Amino acid sequence: MANSKRFLAFMKIIEIKTLRGPNYWSNYRKKLIVMKLDIGEFESKPTNEIDGFLERLKTMFPTMISHRCSKDFEGGFFERVNEGTWMGHVIEHIALEIQTLAGMEVGFGRTRGSGIKGIYHVVFSYMEENVGVYAAKVSVAIADALVNSKEYNLALDLKTMRKMREQDRFGPSTGSIVDEAVARNIPFIRLNKDSLVQLGYGKNQVRFRATMTDRTSSIAVDLASNKEETKRMLQQAAIPVANGMCIINEDEIKEVVEKVNFPLVFKPLDGNHGKGASVNIKTLEEAFAAFYHAKKYSRKVIVEKFITGHDYRVLVINNRFIAAALREPAHVIGNGKSTIQELINTENEDPRRGYGHENVLTEIIIDKETQDQLTKYNYTINTVLKKDEKCYLKGTANLSTGGTSTDVTDTMHPNNIFTCERISRIIGLDICGIDIMANNLSEPLELNGGVVLEVNAAPGFRMHLAPANGLPRNVAASVLDMLYPPGKSCRIPIIAITGTNGKTTTTRLIAHIVKNNGYRVGFSTSDGIYVQNSMLTKGDTTGPLSAEFILKDPTVEFAVLETARGGILRSGLGFGRCDIAVVTNIQEDHLGLSDINTLKDMANVKAVVVKSVKRDGYAILNADNEYCLEIAKTTICNIAFFSLNENNPVIRDHCKKGGIAAIYENGYITIKKGEWKFRVDKVTNIPLTFGGRVSFMISNVLAASLATYSYGFTIEDIKTNLGTFIPSAAQTPGRMNIFDFKEYKVLIDFAHNADGFKGIKEFLSTIDSPFKIGIITGTGDRRDEDIREMGRISAQMFDHIIIRQDKFLRGRKADDIVKLLVEGINQQNPNQSYEYIPKEVEALKHALSIAKPGTFITALSDVIDNAIDLVQSYLDKEREL
């Protein structure tokens, strides 16, 4: 049916984000696509006003009948479309459905407004990242085609998505180990685009690639790759092997034929996965062809007696027999009517066969190997096979080329089990695949004439995980049993710190306490990544990649991770679970960015960290902050509160119920457990509090003390380390760094929002100075009212203000930011003294040049290193005089 109107205004994809960890949209569904979409004129055109839209949607996606949506019954989504819903919602469901049709069944989705009319966040789950992004893009194109009744090649998209999935996803063996790890709550990190995977974190990590682990002996792998050496060692151990020899040159072929006799097997000396192998060679002509084929893969070629019987693979893990399978190459069975091509087509229609590794069996592809195999029988693909005649299409029994497997684990004779377990020890492989040719495995090989053909490092698991016949075996479980036996931990402790202000100082203080209690600590902050005392990476490292950096380091025993808003919204958390989460406070900063417009929105972002705490862990929350208290209402782990006011009603009620808190009372940092008080130390003894004059630093100390106490550190250990944490440019760069000159002082601080400015204002009120100079700047991506407020607070605490604006314009002109700061200054005090010096370095130099005896200069800098280096150089020169 044609549309009564053609919609020419295209929807526009504004942004696509890929989330990989716990996130703003869901803590439990880590793999989500978030597409910010402008639906244009469809904002005023719901689906029930688009002629024929529902019918075309049903025609293209009949299977979408299973989408229940909010109706919670089959066909519920179609009913929503009939009633009228918005195009973003439809695109969400299309993106989910096309992934499912491409073999990646996903089901979670939601569509929410961004706060701007016509712009939506379309959120849906994915299995493979690149496929998810592709699905986001083409779902918009599909919706456009449906709206305008245009032809659309959906089959091409599905084929493309399947190919992308096969390129990106783990192979069956790697995937099975990862799936088993996830089932056991063992975290994993993919270390490259292939099959290298880390299980666990920090010092408790193990690595594997396909089915080789970091326990796999390199000597054993070399032995298994050298078939001649393997055969020699097995013969010496009285293991039955096929008679044969190794050759290099073609003139040796006749000699080996005379010694071993036909039929023969040719295979490369150091080949794998059946590559280059030719079996049942019966003529000299075939022998030369097989030799040249094997030479493509190895300089040396193994020639062995072809043993009649069945091809078996036995899997031994950690020197224990785990599974056995009968393998058969891809084949068809004649019916007396159909050609080989027709039989292959019929076989590929088996629903168990699919593209690549998507199903139990793989589609049979006609290639050169197939043609060569048919030539041996004097057949072509147009040959009609006799009824019940079996025709093999491949020379080896690999499942990836269409072969089949039958589980025979339960029929394995005890003598054969003993033999295979011996082989794994003789060669030295922790994960060992043994190829056997025999009539059966239910009798000892010595009795039925069976022989060991090969021993394989990195054997594939697919034949055991999903045999065409017989019982599937969860062989990956044995790998995990080996890598993480009972009592071995896969994790390291993680304390995550989030909030608006105080995150970095709290992170550093916690790391200081942890480090001095005997742990090798890795921590990430807004100024860099550290392991113990070494900075490994410089910069703002508060996102998921920085967390992953720490967790991948095999020397780290304890992780302390500053976790900022930006990384959570961009990619989710870089860890799945933590032991302790700290929320310092939630204040007005970064509002209006990434569609986080209110403090309630911001609290929901920060709550992602709290929701990642394990059930018996602790959320450390600020009882003086109303938005932290809102987070507490939905928290399922233990909660511990901190407050500058011991009479805070939340603290009182919490402790009456036996809860834990940290309070500032009578000049002490105190842990309160139930009704009991345990004083840690006087704030005047804690350098970070500047003699108790800086309340926001006292709050940071409370948070750090409570977090480490909740983890299990003693009061005495905490006290000792609070006393040795000295605020300085080295220990806490950009956090209340005071430089004492002979006649004046300079304070450098990272305060960059109104709440931070208020904290500095409170401290300056305790400073006796005849002349206070402030150097301030704004950040372009903040709201106008936020920048004005910083100007107003500056006018309340400084006698003279120097405005500088040479960095962090973020979409604005410097003059516009300066104008907003000046507006705030004038609103507070029309007579306020101020000047504008654009460059930070020049502004600092000017402030130092006009300083009078007793002057207190405060530089609120967004580039800490520049300011610290300059002031330190002036101080060094003064000391040299």
One-letter-per-residue 3-state SS of 336-378: CCCEHHHHHHHHHCCCCEECCCCCCEECCCCCHHHHHHHHHCC
Q: How far apart are the first and last CA of the chain?
A: 90
Q: Report the amino acid identity of residue 548.
A: E
- pLDDT exceeds 50 at position 4: no
b/e per residue, 363-377, with b = 16+ CB within 10 A?
bbeeeebbeebbeee
Compute the average pLDDT of residues 196-207: 98
Place 862 in a pLDDT band, splitting at 50, 70 and 90.
low
Half-sphere exposure (Cβ direction) of 661: Cα atoms closer than 13 Å: 30
Q: Is 820 helix (H, G, I), strand (E, B) or coil?
A: helix
Q: What's the Cα-to-Cα distance from 593 to each of 114, 206, 566, 590, rounded to whole Å? A: 11, 39, 9, 6
Please tell me what DSSP assigns to residue 72.
T
For the chain, give the percent of residues with pLDDT over 70.
98
pLDDT given at position 78? 96
pLDDT given at position 2? 38
> Three-class SS string for 397-443?
CCHHHCCEEEECHHHCCHHHHHHHHHHHHHHCCCEEEEEEEECCCCC
Compute the average pLDDT of residues 714-726: 96
CB atoms within 10 A of CB 766: 11
Q: Where are the beta strands (DSSP E) in 764-868?
A: 772-776, 800-803, 833-836, 855-860
- pLDDT exceeds 60 at position 8: no
Place 450 in a pLDDT band, splitting at 50, 70 and 90.
very high
Compute the average pLDDT of residues 266-275: 78
Give the Cα separation of 163 and 316 in Å (integer). 33
Q: Are 63 and 102 in contact (CB under 8 A)?
A: no
The token duo for 331 is 């084949």
CB atoms within 10 A of CB 701: 28
Q: Are 802 and 835 in contact (CB under 8 A)?
A: yes
Q: Report the amino acid identity of residue 604.
A: N
pLDDT given at position 273? 64
Compute the average pLDDT of residues 91-118: 95
Compute the average pLDDT of residues 798-820: 86
Place 650 in a pLDDT band, splitting at 50, 70 and 90.
very high
Lay out the sheet containing 278-281: strands in order across.
244-247, 301-305, 264-268, 278-281
Taking the C-alpha atoms of 370, 376, 378 and 379 in order, what is their torsion angle to the nearest 10 degrees? Answer: -20
Q: Where are the beta strands (DSSP E) in 660-771?
A: 660-665, 668-673, 676-682, 737-740, 744-749
Place 187 in a pLDDT band, splitting at 50, 70 and 90.
very high
What pTM does this model have?
A: 0.86
Cα-trace Rg, the chain = 35
Nearest to 515 by CA among 533, 529, 493, 489: 533
Place 1 in a pLDDT band, splitting at 50, 70 and 90.
very low
Compute the average pLDDT of residues 308-335: 95
- pLDDT exceeds 90 at position 301: yes
Give the Cα separation of 881 and 872 in Å (integer). 15
Return left, alpha or beta for 185; rule: phi > 0 is left, psi -120 to 50 is alpha, else beta. left
Task: Estimate to the nearest angstrom the gap between the alpha carbon of 275 and the chain centroid.
Answer: 34
Q: Are 307 and 279 in contact (CB under 8 A)?
A: no
Place 592 in a pLDDT band, splitting at 50, 70 and 90.
confident
Give the Cα separation of 226 and 269 in Å (integer). 6
What average pLDDT is seen over the chain? Answer: 93
pLDDT given at position 865? 67
Instruction: Please provide the size of the chain in residues.
Output: 881
Residue for token digits 């007396």? 336
Nearest to 287 by CA among 301, 273, 270, 275: 301
Maximal CA-CA distance, the chain: 109
For the chain, give the percent of residues with pLDDT over 90.
79
- pLDDT exceeds 50 at position 226: yes
Compute the average pLDDT of residues 782-793: 91
The token duo for 123 is 């959120």
Compute the average pLDDT of residues 407-422: 98
Angle at 495 between CA 492 and CA 497, to 5 degrees: 150
Compute the average pLDDT of residues 313-333: 96
Phi, psi of 596 (to 5 degrees): -100, 100
Place 808 in a pLDDT band, splitting at 50, 70 and 90.
low
Phi, psi of 34 (to 5 degrees): -120, 110
Least confident of 65-74, 607-616, 763-772: 65-74
